Amino acid sequence: MKNEVVLITGASSGIGKAAAEYLMRKGFHVYGTSRKALGNIEAQDEPTGGFIRMIPMDVTEDGSVIDAINLVVEKEGHIDVLVSNAGAGVAGSVEDVSMEEARVQFDINFFGTLRVIKAVLPLMREQGHGKIIAVSSVAGVISIPYQAHYSSSKYAVEGLAEALRYEVAPFGIKVCIVEPGDTRTGFTKSRITAQKANNKSPYHERFTRSLARMEKDEQNGASPISVARVIHNMIMRKNPPVRTAVGFQYKFILFLKKILPGSVLEKVVGLLYN
């Protein structure tokens, strides 16, 4: 896999940045994307031949996505791996989050993922191989109160990736999902709070308590490098599993969801976040 080309969306911070740096050290040619990138900037080089180049891409804009992919193809001639990682979070009760705020959430997390995948698929089909790794979340399997729109967008990503996995297998393309749990990144500070989730909201007290618990767990969570290692492992596997949770505790939690009655799981989540 040495010197294969990887495109990572949302690579300027957090999990995306950690994955870009980790894969660079392993010898990959990494093209990281960010809305704020100025152009084709060679950020780092390794003796292994690996490097990171940051390029501009806004996953909510068709033209921006196409331009970034064309730039990589001009430089490399192919894209072997897509890590679809760009994402955002909107916090608030279902009632307080406006329709526009909900659209923004889905436009980044779901439609942004879909937009980039659709843009790379023709290239991967023509070359007869490729891997698509969708970064989802444990919250895409277990819904979290006051994060309903974030959870829903990640559920949608999971459904997309599962169906896509069947469709593209005949073309030599592998699709898998990586599900981080609480991870120590700048995502916590960048989370958007719904405008109506203020002290006038009937949900305010519970929402504030739930959000504080979530932010504490995130800032005491795993390093993003742990997610980067899992992403690398999925790249290296010939036939990666459909989904992989990051961290033993989250694997265990998702296993419990399969065997526990729904009422029990509901009580546990309620105690944690309500």
Residue in 121, 49, 53, 52 with CA at minimum distance from that of residue 84: 121
Residue 2: the pLDDT is 52
Per annotation, catalytic residue among 22, 154, 155, 210: 154
Query: In the chain, pLDDT over 90 holds for what percent of residues?
Result: 73
Residue in 255, 242, 100, 102 with CA at minimum distance from that of residue 169: 242
Per annotation, catalytic residue among 136, 151, 152, 153: 136
- In the residue annotation, 150 being an active-site residue is answered as yes
CATH topology of domain 5-273: Rossmann fold (3.40.50)
Residue 187: the pLDDT is 84
Residue that wins the pLDDT comparison between 22 and 182: 22
Place of tokens 């999990």: 15
Between CA 193 and CA 222 the distance in angstroms is 23
Residue in 164, 85, 77, 73 with CA at minimum distance from that of residue 118: 164
Contact criterion met (CB below 8 Å) for 54 and 29? no
Whole-prediction pTM:
0.91
Between CA 42 and CA 76 the distance in angstroms is 14
Between CA 217 and CA 232 the distance in angstroms is 25
> For 95-130, how does the pLDDT look when each residue is reduced to its tens digit (9 = 90+)?
999 999 999 999 999 999 999 999 999 999 999 999
- In the residue annotation, 273 being an active-site residue is answered as no
Between CA 132 and CA 67 the distance in angstroms is 19
- Amino acid letter, 218: E
Confidence band of 40 (pLDDT split at 50, 70, 90): very low
Q: Which two tokens stand for residue 113?
A: 């993922």
Query: In the chain, pLDDT over 70 holds for what percent of residues?
Result: 95
- In the residue annotation, 12 being an active-site residue is answered as yes
Domain ranges in the chain are: 5-273
Per annotation, catalytic residue among 31, 150, 155, 273: 150
Query: First CA to last CA across the chain, in angstroms?
Result: 45
Per annotation, catalytic residue among 12, 13, 201, 226: 12
